[in-house]
Every structure is written in C-alpha cells, then in structure tokens.
Amino acid sequence: MEFLPEKKFGFGLMRLPRRNPDDAADVDVEQVKQMVDLFMEKGFTYFDTAWMYNGFNSENVAKEALVDRYPRESFTLATKLHSGFFNTLEERDKVFNEQLRKTGAGYFDYYLLHGIEESMIGKYEEFDCFNWLLEKKAQGLVKHVGFSFHDTPELLDEILTKHPEMEFVQLQINYLDWESKWIQSRAVYETAVKHGKKVIVMEPCKGGTLANLPEEAKKLFHDYDDSRSDASWAIRFAASLPEVMVVLSGMSNIEQMEDNLSYMEDFKPLNDEEVKLCHYAADIINKKITIPCTACHYCTEGCPMHICIPEYFSIYNEDMREDLGQKGWTINFKNYEILAAKNAKASDCITCGQCEAVCPQHLDIINLLRDVANHYEK
Ligand code: SF4
Ligand code: SF4
C-alpha cells in the first residue's frame, strides 16, 4: 500500500454502532462487518482505530470485522499510543504489543502519538516516543509515523521543527472551527503545510454537529442543492483542502456510511462559491451552539463520578437551540432524568478537573456542568 490512500476518505472506528446504547464496548459487530464490506466494495481502504475507542474494544472489532476477513495488503490500518495509558517504558511497549495482538494486523500502516497538546508533549518526549516510533518503523512493525494534535499552531510549529521525521499530522478540521479561537483549523492546517506534511482530518462534522444543522443553515445549503446531506458539505469541505490525504468519519450505522460513500466515491472538491456557503453557514451555526463538545468521550473514561458529560452537553445544546425561553419544557428534561438515573447527575461533579485536563476542545467542563445542573435540576 502506498503512503497516500487512493481515496480521500477513511472509516473512523470510534463511534461504532452499539447493541446496548449505554455500553460503548458492546459493539454491533455484525453491522460493522456490513459497513466494512460496503466500504471495501466501493474501493475505500483506510481504517482508523485507537487503544481506548469504543470502551477499549475498537481494536478487537477491527480484527473481527476487517483483519480476519480481508487480505492484509488490501487495506490500511492506523492506531495510536495515548500518553494516559503508560507510566513506564515497559507499559508503553506493552500497549503496542497488545495492539498487535488485539488487531491481529501483524503491522500498522500508520501509527500515531495520540492527541498531542501542551500538557502531554513532555511525557511523549520523556519516554522517547518519537525515536521509539522510528524503531518500530525500522523493525517493519509500523509503515508510517505521525501524530494527532489538539493545540496551537505555535506548538505544532515547534514540534514539527524538532521532529521532521514525522510524516503526517492528524488535525481537527471543519468549516465551523476554521477560524475558531480554540481549534484554529486554518492556522494548524497551514502550519502543517508549511512543514511539507500531509494532513489527516478528524472531526470533519464536529462530532455530528455539522450533520444535523440548525434550520437556517440547512436552508442555506438546500437552496443551493437540495439533494445533498448536511454531512456531505462538511466532509467535502475538509477533503477539498489540497494537502489533506484522508478525511476520517466516525460512522455509527450503515445509512451514514451509504451517504458518505455516495459523494466520496467519485469525490469532487467544492468550488469557491460552495466554500463561501460553508463559511456563511459557520457564522449562523456558531451563534446557535452553546457548548462546542465533539462527543469524543475522552473526558468520561476517568471521571470518578461516572458523569455522562457529552450526553448532558448534547441535550443542553438542543434545548438552547430550541429557544427554551419560549417553550419552558422540552423532552430533554425527561432525557436528563433517565441519564441521571443511570449515571450521575451533573451536580455530582466533585470538581477534580480530570475531564478538563484531557478535553481536546479545552472546554470549561466544570462550569458548564453547573449550567446543565441549573437548567435541569432546578
Ligand atoms: S471534574 Fe467533575 S465531571 Fe470532571 S472528571 Fe471530575 S467529577 Fe467528573
Ligand atoms: S467535553 Fe471535551 S472531552 Fe468530553 S466529550 Fe466533549 S469534547 Fe470530548
């Protein structure tokens, strides 16, 4: 397999369909097999997993649905090492060996240091992870090395200057975050390009936000072409950037996959007018989103109170979008009760700060949970 995939679209194995909606690890493997089959049949080859995706089960599912069913050279597999899961060199190596065992892949086509940001880069350096990646490459256990990144263009510039051996970077790029203060999609993309790196895009739909637009933004796109889905605009925006090698989508069912493949099978970049529409839509949407959470769930793994943070943010966003002042009550008050009964209430937060330390969107989670609690528990 070449470094650059033939098609600019990858299957992110992080939001896989579940048999039990309350258990991320309980993956509907049969549906994933159907999705993999459709994906491969249409000529797509790039799969992206990670150690902790789907309650630490995504790499096992990659084996069952993909590796065991297709010739190894017919697809490429990416996975990652996250700094939160090792504290010694032995533990670092153990994660890698376990990933080889879980996936059964024999080698990884792409291997990434996961979610680098200011608070983590020191650990990756301390444990010599950049050289370690090169060793794995020399041993033939990894074909291409890179990292995913959630921080400022300045830090990215620093890392790429120090580590020119990195072949690619994975960045959060979508039209909503293109000029945002925190994510700075445009600036980090331009920094990667300045260093001659290829870019893998994550969160092109911002955790589903751009796949289900507010009415005003939806109308804007529909007036231009009513045959296209909301998600298609977001995926094509990211894929239209010339140095992007692949856009990842964390698809959760076969319908989402069918929609995505319909326009990515024979991909056509957006024209200038279409790009302008995306930026205009971003202005509309940004005015409507209260909490820009992408539902990545990084925060929930270590929450001592088991608070379902992204689910609370999602229903809260819906209510804020619905102009609650006029409605007074929405079905989300009931949804909140159900979620709180199964997990913990927003007000159970003990302000330990674990979640804020790992949130790639740099959200002020503790205060936002107070808003959620004030809204639903009053
Ligand atoms: S600050 Fe609150 S929500 Fe965050 S991890 Fe701690 S208890 Fe959980
Ligand atoms: S609050 Fe942050 S870490 Fe948690 S799901 Fe949302 S974006 Fe991810």
Of 286, 307, 330, the last residue of a domain is 286
220 shares its domain with 249: yes
pLDDT at 329: 74
Q: What is the pTM of this model?
A: 0.84
257 shares its domain with 329: no
Tell me, yes or no, whether 2 lies in a domain. Answer: no
Please check the confidence at residue 3 and state whether its pLDDT lies above 60.
yes
Helix 254-264 crosses helix 29-41 at what angle (to 10 degrees)? 10
Q: How far away, in angstroms, is 12 Cα from ligand 2 center?
A: 17
Q: How far away, in angstroms, is 37 Cα from ligand 1 center?
A: 39
265 shares its domain with 360: no
Tell me, yes or no, whether 150 lies in a domain. Answer: yes
Of 231, 255, 286, the last residue of a domain is 286
pLDDT at 330: 74
pLDDT at 371: 95
From 369, 370, 371, 372, give the residue whose CB has the most ligand 1 atoms within 8 Å, as the site to mutate. 369
pLDDT at 309: 97
Q: Is the CB of 81 under 6 A from ligand 1?
A: no
Give CA–CA dist 54/13, Å, rounded: 8
154 vs 214, residue with greater confidence:
154
Of 238, 264, 286, the last residue of a domain is 286
Q: What are the tens digits of pLDDT across the range 203-237?
A: 999 888 899 898 899 999 999 999 999 999 999 99
Tell me, yes or no, whether 4 lies in a domain. Answer: no
Q: Is the CB of 365 under 6 A from ligand 1?
A: yes
Average pLDDT over residues 15-37: 94
Q: Which ligand has the minimum distance to the alpha carbon of residue 349?
A: 1
Tell me, yes or no, whether 87 lies in a domain. Answer: yes
Q: Is the CB of 364 under 6 A from ligand 1?
A: no
Atom of ligand 1 nearest to the CA of 350: 7
Give CA–CA dist 357/115, Å, rounded: 12
- Name the average pLDDT for the chain: 94
Tell me, yes or no, whether 293 lies in a domain. Answer: no
For the CA atoms of 101, 104, 110, 113, what is the dihedral angle to 10 degrees?
Answer: -20
pLDDT at 323: 60
Please check the confidence at residue 325 and state whether its pLDDT lies above 70.
no
pLDDT at 342: 86
Q: Is the CB of 296 under 6 A from ligand 2?
A: yes
Q: Is the CB of 317 under 6 A from ligand 2?
A: no
State percent of the chain over pLDDT 90.
Answer: 82
18 shares its domain with 149: yes
266 shares its domain with 303: no
161 shares its domain with 203: yes
Q: How far away, in angstroms, is 362 Cα from ligand 2 center?
A: 8
Give CA–CA dist 299/25, Å, rounded: 16
Least confident of 192-201, 222-231, 249-258, 279-288: 279-288
93 shares its domain with 209: yes
| Beta-bridge mates of residue 27 | 18
Count of domains observed in the chain: 2
Q: Is the CB of 350 under 6 A from ligand 1?
A: yes
Average pLDDT over residues 187-195: 98
Q: What are the tens digits of pLDDT across the range 33-68?
A: 999 999 999 999 999 999 999 999 999 999 999 999
For residue 236, what is the domain's CATH number?
3.20.20.100
Q: Which ligand has the minimum distance to the alpha carbon of residue 343?
A: 1
Please check the confidence at residue 88 and state whether its pLDDT lies above 80.
yes
261 shares its domain with 306: no
Q: Is the CB of 14 under 6 A from ligand 2?
A: no
Give CA–CA dist 169/159, Å, rounded: 11
Average pLDDT over residues 263-286: 95
Q: How far away, in angstroms, is 358 Cα from ligand 1 center?
A: 11
Tell me, yes or no, whether 3 lies in a domain. Answer: no
Q: What are the tens digits of pLDDT across the range 95-126?
A: 999 999 999 999 999 999 999 988 889 999 99
Q: What are the tens digits of pLDDT across the range 261-274?
A: 999 999 999 999 99
361 shares its domain with 273: no
Tell me, yes or no, whether 78 lies in a domain. Answer: yes
Average pLDDT over residues 196-206: 95
Q: Which ligand has the minimum distance to the alpha carbon of residue 306?
A: 1
Tokens of 141: 């256990």
In this prediction, residue 139 has a pLDDT band, given cuts at 50, 70 and 90, of very high
Please check the confidence at residue 327 and state whether its pLDDT lies above 60.
no
Please check the confidence at residue 326 and state whether its pLDDT lies above 60.
no
Tell me, yes or no, whether 236 lies in a domain. Answer: yes
pLDDT at 180: 80
Q: Is the CB of 305 under 6 A from ligand 1?
A: yes
Give CA–CA dist 9/26, Å, rounded: 26
315 shares its domain with 279: no
207 shares its domain with 344: no
Q: What are the tens digits of pLDDT across the range 340-365?
A: 998 999 999 999 999 999 999 999 99
**Residue 348's domain spans which residues?**
298-376
Q: Is the CB of 359 under 6 A from ligand 2?
A: yes
250 shares its domain with 323: no
286 vs 375, residue with greater confidence:
375
